[in-house]
Structure 1
Amino acid sequence: MNILQINSSARSNGSESTRLADAIVAKLQAATPQASLVRRDLAVTPHPPIDEATLGALFTPADKRSAEQAARVALDDALIAELQAAHVVVIGSPMYNFGITVQLKSWFDAVARAGTTFSYTATGPVGLLSGKKVYVTLARGGFHREGGNDNQTQHVKTFLGFLGMTDVTFVYAEGLGMGPEAVATAQAKADAQIEAELA
């Protein structure tokens, strides 16, 4: 089993979404000791966002790209290869301003490639990354679950489904900005959910 962990907090240390992602990975490794793990911390190694030069590189045929264009596309290729090889994907995703982080958005933009991770067909788009199990840990300062302003969950669910990843479990830690007691309660609930999901 190949595990891919994506940490998308802007913080390398002290991130609750990362703590929970680590806990899930630890449970997976305990159940399958021979599993391989690729851990990508997007705070330590941020992926460059899409800009005009990136679009130019992506839309230039491979045999006509400059060395600089080829190097830029290769950065995305590496992320796609990691995702394609993974059987289980664990994403740590804090909520920033009602949505996902710029770090995660840049990763999303890198791994979504027509003809590689999804295809357009006569009947609509088809995801090419089916058959993977995905866990997403969601850390929030307030309480948003199943509310009208929970744009984060829907964004992540829609994007993963677009690539064919529909077996997704969300783990929630909410109220983290509401004092020590609320933090302790949120952590206990999230830890209990992980224990139940991976028992």
Structure 2
Amino acid sequence: MSLLEKSSYWDSFYSARKKGAPAYPSQFAAFVINELSEVDGVIEFGCGNGRDSEFFAANGFELLALDASTEAIALCRSRSAHACARYVHSTAGNARDAIEGFLEGKRKVAVYARFFLHAIDEVEAAALLDLLGLLLPAGSLVFFEYRTVNDADQDKTFGTDHYRRYLEHASALASIERAGFRIVYQIEGHGLAKFRDEDAKVGRCVAQKN
């Protein structure tokens, strides 16, 4: 699936499901919020409808939220109630200027990406990790949650008609480390991203910039 096809799918998804997609924060966001006491801001990749972005902003964190879907960003902007949240239409590969602007004056930030690494291809993911390794201040944190290869055959609440790249958990962790990060927490399992009748097998990790 091409980048244009991916964007078109998500534009249609967020246009059609403005009321159907969950608006409350995810389990992953509830986990991450406890780890953010010393950061100066949060950058979210693949913010979708803003369910987690708004949660972070509501708790006082300056936020840069990015998504490649124009419909998703329009939806977030229409719903946002927080002046500290900025929503930007951008792919991860074109986000360098926005990230550099957000980082000005900040000593330590957090990067948050839930169900994003498996939504981009291997080349895009490697480029993103390299960019984060280059730009983030030392001590910054990254939080990733993604579907693993053991989830491939499970039923999906939102179907299988869009791009998913199921990750091998150990390989994903190794890629993050190669980009200049130290894994400080990791787990793979069920019960971490349950939604309705679906209990995805996911990998979750926290890593710190060296």
Taking structure 1 as the reference length, the TM-score comes to: 0.41
Taking structure 2 as the reference length, the TM-score comes to: 0.40
Higher Rg: 1
Asked which structure has the greater RCO (Cα within 8 Å, sep 6+), the reply is 1
